[in-house]
């Protein structure tokens, strides 16, 4: 599952770049070339793309090395923290359970034992998590590199807003990761880690399984939170319209419920806590689509 999500993340970044490139190409058709602007050949574009990729990989490696050298912080205070009863989310849920008199919300019985099953398991996990940390922390820079690749084809007025696009993409992704880490991950660990088919079967969680669950859930929600960005560019190139999104709102509700059921444990509370921000994101995306659509229509008429 984790490998699929990483592949999906790469595909999403690629599609994001392709969508921006499509927007740029549409604008270039109607834009007169500037006097000092030189047309780049295919191989020059390829060379430029190669250096953007090289810089992105170097940034991930550097940030990964920093994460590798801070093993205690990455594992003890971040990765392994949600499994303990004194994790901030678990403590707040217990306080909420006392206030609402709903004991099921309190997760004070966590006793997950994470074990390593392979000789090189801990070292490989350490390297793997370091790379993942490099990707997450360096995500704003990765988006900036993608945007930098297409920015030269933009008009001077549009270039002023490039930094804002990078900031929005980064904030949405990091917000999704943090939302997942502080809410969905603890709920998932509590449900799956304490579930028993029989009292004679004790849970001892493999390190790889634990890491895969934490990272995959966090990545999945981070990508889902990029919905407004994709809606913006899909509307920009004319693939979707606000009317289409409003008309299919009921189908999107079903999709959101299915997504919530996939990335959360099978209990109503967890699914509702995930559905609410996703529905708000969809409604926000409709507003973005409407604004972009009206602007696009006025440009076409002009």
DSSP string of the chain?
Answer: -HHHHHHHHHHHHHHHHHHHHHHHHHHHHTSPPPTTPPPPPHHHHHHHHHHHHHHHHHHHHHHHHHHHHTHIIIIIIIISGGGSTTSHHHHHHHHHHHHHT-GGG--------EE--STTHHHHHHHHHHHHHHHHHTHHHHHHHHHHHHGGGS-HHHHTTHHHHHHHHHHHHHHHHHHIIIIIHHHHHHHHHH--S-TT----EEHHHHHHHHHHHHHHHHHHTTHHHHHHHHHHTTS--HHHHHHTHHHHHHHHHHHHHHHS-SSHHHHHHHHHHHHHHHHHHHHHHHHHHHHHHHHHH-
| Residue 256 forms part of a structural domain | yes
The pair of structure tokens assigned to 112 is 């997950």
First to last CA, the chain: 48
Q: 218 with 247, same domain?
A: no
5 — pLDDT class (breaks 50, 70, 90): very low
Q: 122 with 231, same domain?
A: no
Q: 265 with 215, same domain?
A: no
| Residue 265 forms part of a structural domain | yes
Question: What are the angstrom distances between the C-alpha of 254 and each of 79, 259, 268, 275, 279?
Answer: 32, 9, 15, 10, 11
Q: Residue 72's pLDDT is what?
A: 93
302 — pLDDT class (breaks 50, 70, 90): low
Q: Which domain holds residue 284?
A: 227-302
What value does the mean pLDDT take over residues 110-132? 90
Q: Residue 8's pLDDT is what?
A: 47
- State which of 169, 192, 225 marks the end of a domain: 225
Q: 128 with 141, same domain?
A: yes
| Number of domains within the chain | 2
Q: 240 with 281, same domain?
A: yes
- Can you state the angle between helices 139-150 and 2-29, rounded to 10 degrees? 30
**pLDDT surpasses 80 at 207:** yes
Q: 198 with 294, same domain?
A: no
Q: 109 with 146, same domain?
A: yes
| Residue 143 forms part of a structural domain | yes
Q: 238 with 182, same domain?
A: no
Phi, psi of 115, deg, nearest 5: -125, 155
What value does the mean pLDDT take over residues 198-214? 88
Question: What are the angstrom distances between the C-alpha of 230 and each of 19, 224, 225?
Answer: 8, 10, 10
| Residue 235 forms part of a structural domain | yes
Cα dihedral 206, 209, 214, 215 sign: positive
- State which of 165, 198, 225 marks the end of a domain: 225
Q: 186 with 245, same domain?
A: no
**pLDDT surpasses 80 at 30:** no
pLDDT tens-digit series, residues 262-272: 766 666 666 77
Q: Residue 161's pLDDT is what?
A: 56
Q: 205 with 183, same domain?
A: yes
Closest CA to 74 of 61, 88, 64: 64
27 — pLDDT class (breaks 50, 70, 90): very low
| Residue 86 forms part of a structural domain | yes
Closest CA to 261 of 248, 270, 253: 270
Q: Residue 257's pLDDT is what?
A: 83
- Buried/exposed 92-128: b ≥16 CB within 10 Å, e otherwise: ebbeebeeeeeeebbbeebebebeeeeeeeeeebeeb
The pair of structure tokens assigned to 39 is 């047309």
Most confident of 25-29, 104-108, 140-144, 150-154: 140-144
| Residue 85 forms part of a structural domain | yes
Q: 194 with 239, same domain?
A: no
The pair of structure tokens assigned to 260 is 């919530």
**pLDDT surpasses 50 at 125:** yes
**pLDDT surpasses 80 at 56:** yes
Average per-residue pLDDT for the chain: 80
> Range with the lowest mean pLDDT among 2-6, 213-217, 234-238, 289-293?
2-6
What value does the mean pLDDT take over residues 26-39? 50
> Range with the lowest mean pLDDT among 1-10, 154-163, 194-203?
1-10
**pLDDT surpasses 60 at 31:** no
pLDDT tens-digit series, residues 58-101: 999 999 999 999 999 999 999 999 888 888 888 888 888 788 77
**pLDDT surpasses 60 at 46:** yes
| Residue 28 forms part of a structural domain | no
pLDDT tens-digit series, residues 268-290: 666 777 788 888 999 999 998 89
Percent of the chain at pLDDT exceeding 90: 25
| Residue 92 forms part of a structural domain | yes
Q: Residue 59's pLDDT is what?
A: 94
Q: 142 with 215, same domain?
A: yes
**pLDDT surpasses 70 at 188:** yes
Q: Residue 124's pLDDT is what?
A: 94
- State which of 225, 257, 289 marks the end of a domain: 225
In angstroms, rounded to a whole number, what is the distance separating the alpha carbons of residues 250 and 231? 17
**pLDDT surpasses 70 at 40:** no
Number of residues written out for the chain? 302
């Amino acid at each position: 599952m984790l490998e699929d999500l990483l592949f999906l993340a790469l595909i999403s970044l690629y599609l994001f770049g392709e969508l921006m490139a499509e927007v740029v190409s549409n604008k270039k058709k109607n834009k007169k070339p500037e006097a000092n602007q030189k047309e780049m050949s295919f191989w020059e574009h390829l060379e430029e793309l190669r250096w953007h990729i090289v810089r992105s990989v170097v940034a991930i490696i550097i940030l990964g090395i920093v994460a590798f050298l801070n093993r205690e912080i990455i594992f003890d205070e971040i990765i392994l923290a949600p499994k303990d009863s004194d994790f901030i989310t678990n403590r707040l849920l217990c306080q909420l359970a006392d206030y609402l008199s709903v004991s099921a919300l309190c997760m004070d019985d966590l006793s997950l034992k994470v074990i390593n099953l392979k000789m090189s398991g801990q070292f490989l996990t350490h390297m793997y998590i370091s790379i993942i940390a490099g990707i997450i922390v360096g995500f704003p820079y990765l988006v900036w590199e993608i945007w930098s690749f297409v920015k030269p084809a933009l008009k001077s007025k549009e270039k002023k807003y490039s930094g804002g696009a990078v900031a929005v993409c980064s904030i949405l992704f990091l917000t999704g990761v943090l939302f997942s880490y502080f809410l969905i991950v603890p709920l998932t660990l509590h449900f799956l880690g304490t579930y028993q088919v029989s009292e004679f079967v004790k849970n001892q969680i493999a390190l790889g399984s634990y890491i895969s669950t934490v990272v995959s859930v966090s990545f999945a929600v981070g990508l889902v939170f990029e919905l407004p960005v994709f809606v913006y560019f899909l509307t920009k190139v004319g693939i979707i319209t606000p009317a289409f999104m409003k008309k299919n709102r009921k189908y999107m509700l079903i999709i959101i419920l299915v997504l919530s059921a996939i990335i959360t444990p099978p209990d109503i509370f967890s699914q509702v806590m995930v559905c609410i921000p996703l529905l708000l994101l969809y409604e926000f995306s409709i507003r973005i689509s409407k604004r972009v659509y009206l602007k696009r229509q006025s440009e076409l008429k002009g």
